[in-house]
Amino acid sequence: MTIFKYFCRKQKLLNFELFIAGRIVSKGKANFSGPIVRLSIFSIALGLSVMIVSIAIVTGFQQQVRNKVIGFGGHIQITAYDVTTSYEANPVSMDQPFYPGLDAMDGVRHIQVFASKAGIIKTADQIEGVVLKGVSTDYDWSWFENKITDGKIFSLNDSVRSNAVIISRNLANLLDLHTGDALRMYFINRDEIQPRGRKFNISGIYETGLEEFDKLYIMGDIRHVQSLNNWKPDEVGGFEVYLDDYNTMDQMGHQINTLVGVDLKAQTIRQLYPQIFEWLSLHDMNVAIIIALMVMVAGITMISTLLILILEKTNMIGTLKALGTKNSSIRKVFIYNAIYIIGRGMIWGNAIALALSLIQLKFGLFKLNQESYYVSEVPVNLQFSHYLLVNIGTLAACTIMLIIPSYIVTKISPVKAIRFN
């Protein structure tokens, strides 16, 4: 046992290395390494805040776009087996053992029927191809409620077919339509020569920012689709299933697919629109690159700081060695000191990231072109797990990177170090 360790035990300071590291920290501001330490703290704070904000923005963007796609089609769609990719699916009977009782299944929030019919909107000087999506009284409008920019959502009842529809802002601007206007659409059936015309009334205009869907879908009464397709009143295009948790979608999709039987198929929204979800997954690589670069910069900064601290405390290292302190204990002193610097930088980094995120959530200062990015302002997704993982990962990576440089302590000779001034 060295003299210093004996002293620490006497003073009830069980960790000798922490005691010495604390003394270095308390006296550090007066040394020439003070500005370098502050620069290291700033570098770590900046790197950590960039990592956290990057993750918050990318995951927020993915979440918003994903929710918009799910809002149009549910997490899982149950339809008849069909080899074509037409918007007009084969009819399915509503008399199914899973409908409407599937929403009692663990993980399932809601199930609803739908049917689609491709058609053409004709105005005085414009023609536009669209899809009429028919919904019934069981349709959950909660997602659409805050997407209505003008007018209102139409109501449905079991007795009278409604002629009201809602269209997107994209179509309304293109065709110069407004709420209350009449809308005439034409539909073609395979076994009919003449197209069928239907007159609708625009009750509301919605805007989701997802142009690929906004310019395509018109929401209306499912009974129009049933009549146009010559279906029976109990026949629909399929069922949309909404889940409690997006992360269980693949597992629930497999379970529901085995439940619906051999005549039907259950597909997740990711299987229906793979191009969108693959594009979203590409953003994960961007975040991974940013994190790797920031951790590398923080690690290199801390290695430089550690070497400067060792150089500054060469005389102290020689004294400790002369008193019998092991190299491993001296190395721990400087690693603890470096961890303290990293910790201070992380505290500031978390504070900066949290402040920026909350400001953006509250005021939406940073705007985006919705036509290009599908969102009107920079999205932010605040999750405690992201903060925790980034902090743990940064601390662990930087500490591991400091282990090898700390071995320079073993090369210092006590006699030369004590003479060094």
- Tens of pLDDT, residues 160-173: 899 999 999 999 99
Residue 195 lies in a domain: yes
Residue 125 lies in a domain: yes
Whether residues 331 and 398 fall in one domain: yes
Q: How buried is residue 128: exposed, middle or buried, by Cβ count under 10 Å (0-12/13-18/19+)?
A: middle
Whether residues 160 and 258 fall in one domain: yes
Whether residues 170 and 297 fall in one domain: no
Tell me if 312 sits within 8 A of 25, measured CB to CB.
Answer: no
Whether residues 61 and 117 fall in one domain: no
What's residue 1's pLDDT? Answer: 47
Asked whether the whole model's pTM tops 0.95, one would answer no
What's residue 10's pLDDT? Answer: 47
Distance CA 133, CA 154 (A): 14
Residue 73 lies in a domain: no
What's residue 12's pLDDT? Answer: 46
Residue 269 lies in a domain: no
Domain boundary at 262, 293, 325, which?
262
Backbone angles phi, psi at 231, to 5 degrees: -90, 160
Distance CA 316, CA 4 (A): 12
When divided into structural domains, the chain yields a total of: 2
Whether residues 147 and 185 fall in one domain: yes
Domain boundary at 262, 297, 328, which?
262
Whether residues 321 and 398 fall in one domain: yes
Residue 329: domain span: 3-66+278-419
Residue 273 lies in a domain: no
Whether residues 34 and 102 fall in one domain: no
Residue 77 lies in a domain: no
Mean pLDDT, 10 residues at a time, over the chain (421 residues)? Answer: 48 64 67 77 92 94 93 93 70 91 92 94 89 95 92 91 94 93 90 88 94 92 93 94 95 93 91 92 90 91 87 81 82 86 93 95 89 87 92 91 84 70 54
What's residue 86's pLDDT? Answer: 65
Residue 52 lies in a domain: yes
Instruction: Give the DSSP H/E element, type plus range, for residue 132.
Output: strand 127-135
Whether residues 14 and 141 fall in one domain: no
